[in-house]
């Protein structure tokens, strides 16, 4: 953590939580994090639960993220959701290019980039996810993969928009596996991402960029991760599904 950058703790609920369950989770969470002022708190429900969470968290210090969007404004795209639909429900962020979407739903650097551009054009803040698989890491391709995903995801993004972008580093082998990257391993990749952004833009932009770590973050390991100089937040799956554990993450010391 670097005091210059405001920490951002986000829950990615994935395909969990009906609208009813989501309302209950959000209402239990509100009092547990109400006193937090110095960090951003974000919940990422599935599309069908966004409205109920939006209503529940109105006027609180919690904001909303969607887990995906389509890159076109509207039209004949059966099953897709537009930026305007998300903005209408008070979404502030949108998670883009999560490894589950890249692996199971055919997302590529190109489609990820279109989504990042669309979110910025419409006024949503993108959380751009990058991360290598275990096979890629073991084959010594870590730097190449991360560079390719960062460069591809940010293609044609103007410097003036970069303060709205959050990057999430999520090593695929650490997601939902209970195998967290060590704080050192994670920080090394965060530093690499920052280096890449510096080369693409400037030292100032790289310095201001918030980079979240994701992959088996829990209340037990969040503090050591957040103590690292290049880790500015967490994108949390499993541990965000219970109000007590997500509150403990938000309240990390
Ligand atoms: P996890 O998921 O915390 O359950 O490992 C993280 C993510 O996929 O964003």
Report pLDDT digits (tens) over 39-80. 999 999 999 999 999 999 999 999 999 999 999 999 999 999
> Which atom belonging to ligand 1 lies closest to the Cα atom of 236?
3
For residues 107-122, average pLDDT: 98
pLDDT-based confidence at residue 116 (cuts at 50, 70, 90): very high
Residue 170, ligand 1, Cβ within 6 A: yes
For ligand 1, pick from 220, 237, 248, 249 the residue to mutate: most ligand atoms within 8 Å of CB: 237
Catalytic residue among 100, 132, 170, 190: 170
CA of 242 relative to ligand 1 center, distance in Å: 14
Residue 219, ligand 1, Cβ within 6 A: no
Clarify whether 98 is annotated catalytic.
yes
Residue 193, ligand 1, Cβ within 6 A: no
| Residue 180: per-residue pLDDT | 84
pLDDT-based confidence at residue 1 (cuts at 50, 70, 90): confident
CATH hierarchy code of domain 8-250: 3.20.20.70
| Residue 176: per-residue pLDDT | 87
Q: Residue 236: is its pLDDT beyond 90? A: yes
> Which atom belonging to ligand 1 lies closest to the Cα atom of 99?
8
pLDDT-based confidence at residue 179 (cuts at 50, 70, 90): confident
Give burial (CB, 10 Å; 0-12/13-18/19+) of 113: buried
Residue 47 and residue 103: Cα distance in Å, rounded? 20
| CA proximity to 93, closest of 45, 131, 157 | 45
CB 6 within 8 A of CB 210: yes
Residue 246 and residue 74: Cα distance in Å, rounded? 34
Which pTM does this prediction carry? Answer: 0.98
Tell me the average pLDDT of the chain. Answer: 97
Residue 171, ligand 1, Cβ within 6 A: no
CA of 11 relative to ligand 1 center, distance in Å: 9
Q: Residue 194: is its pLDDT beyond 90? A: yes
Strands annotated E in the chain: 8-12, 40-44, 62-66, 91-96, 125-130, 166-169, 210-214, 233-236
Clarify whether 107 is annotated catalytic.
no
Q: Residue 5: is its pLDDT beyond 90? A: yes
pLDDT-based confidence at residue 138 (cuts at 50, 70, 90): very high
Percent of the chain at pLDDT exceeding 90: 96
Residue 211 and residue 234: Cα distance in Å, rounded? 8
Is the four-CA dihedral 187, 165, 133, 234 of positive or negative sign? positive
| CA proximity to 208, closest of 200, 198, 218, 217 | 198
| Residue 178: per-residue pLDDT | 86
């Amino acid at each position: 953590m670097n005091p210059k950058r405001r920490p951002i703790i986000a829950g990615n609920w994935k395909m969990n939580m009906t609208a009813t369950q989501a309302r209950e989770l959000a209402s239990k969470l509100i009092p547990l994090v109400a006193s937090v002022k110095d960090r951003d708190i974000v919940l990422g429900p599935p599309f069908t639960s966004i409205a109920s969470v939006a209503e529940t968290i109105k006027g609180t210090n919690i904001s909303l993220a969607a887990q995906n969007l389509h890159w076109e404004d509207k039209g004949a795209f059966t099953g897709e959701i537009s930026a305007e639909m998300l903005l209408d429900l008070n979404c502030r962020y949108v998670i883009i290019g999560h490894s589950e979407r890249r692996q199971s739903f055919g997302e590529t650097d190109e489609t990820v980039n279109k989504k990042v551009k669309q979110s910025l054009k419409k006024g949503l803040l993108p959380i751009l996810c990058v991360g290598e698989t275990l096979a890629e890491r073991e084959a010594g391709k870590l730097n190449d993969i991360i560079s390719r995903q960062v460069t591809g995801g940010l293609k044609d993004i103007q410097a003036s928009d970069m303060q709205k972008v959050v990057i999430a580093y999520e090593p695929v082998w650490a997601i939902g596996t209970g195998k967290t990257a060590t704080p050192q391993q994670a920080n090394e990749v965060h530093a690499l991402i920052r280096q890449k952004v510096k080369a693409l833009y400037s030292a100032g932009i790289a310095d201001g960029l918030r980079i979240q770590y994701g992959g088996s973050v829990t209340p037990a390991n969040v503090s050591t991760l957040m103590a690292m100089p290049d880790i500015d937040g967490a994108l949390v799956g499993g541990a965000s599904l219970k109000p007590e554990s997500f509150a403990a993450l938000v309240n990390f010391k």
